[in-house]
Every structure is written in C-alpha cells, then in structure tokens.
Amino acid sequence: MQQNTGSTKKLTIQIRVEPGCLGPDGKSHIDTFCAAASRIFAAIEPERVSWVLIPRHDKQLPEQECFIEGRKLSEEQASLLLLRMGLTLATLQERSDALLAQLVERYFRAL
C-alpha cells in the first residue's frame, strides 16, 4: 500500500554551477561536470531531497533555487518544509557547498 502524504514529497534543490569555477576552459567541461556531480549529490538525503546541478550561463539567475513538485519555493518556504522533515536549509547548503568544493578540487587534480 502506497501512501501519498506530504511527508513523501521531496524538495528539489537546483544549484547553478559557474563554468569559471573549473578554470579558463570551464565552459567546455561544465556540462559533464554537472552531470557527474549530480550523481554524487544524489547521496545527500536521498529520501527527502532531490538535487539538480546545471551550468550557470545566465548570471542574473540565482545560484540556488528550491522546488516542490515543480513549484518554485521561496527560501523561507523551503526552510519551513525542511524543518518539517527534520533538516535545515543552512545545514544542507553547508554540505552541498563543501561537496561542490571537493568535486572542483578533484576535477583539477584529474587534469
């Protein structure tokens, strides 16, 4: 029996990654980097959070956005939803920032 309650909904956190963080040739590597990073990010709170990493080609778009079932949430709404799930947005952001920094570092070591 499958329950369809609010607790089964996942928060989607979309992170736009600057191509420049991968160096001067970052534009040619950013798509592959984002695809690989998305697979690694999937391990962070997989029951409650879905991660989407995409290149940030338009600097006017925010670095991070949150969605639930395709509907955009404000930071306050995302924070409240995560609190109900037993998480905090600040903690998730710290974890994602640290992981992204590690992946960029790993990328440069692989060059």
One DSSP character per residue, 36-74 reads HHHHHHTTSSTTTEEEEEEE---TTS-SEEEEETTEEE-
**Summary mean pLDDT of the chain:** 91
Instruction: Say what the pLDDT of residue 4 is.
Output: 40
State residue 8's pLDDT score: 62
| Strand arrangement, sheet containing 49-55 | 49-55, 11-17, 64-68, 71-73
**What are the pLDDT digits (tens) for 13-59?**
999 999 999 999 999 999 999 999 999 999 999 999 999 999 999 99
pLDDT at position 61 over 70: yes
Angstrom distance (rounded) from CA 67 to CA 52? 10
The reported pLDDT for the residue numbered 5 is 44
Angle at 83 between CA 82 and CA 85, to 5 degrees: 65
pLDDT: which is higher, 4 or 97:
97
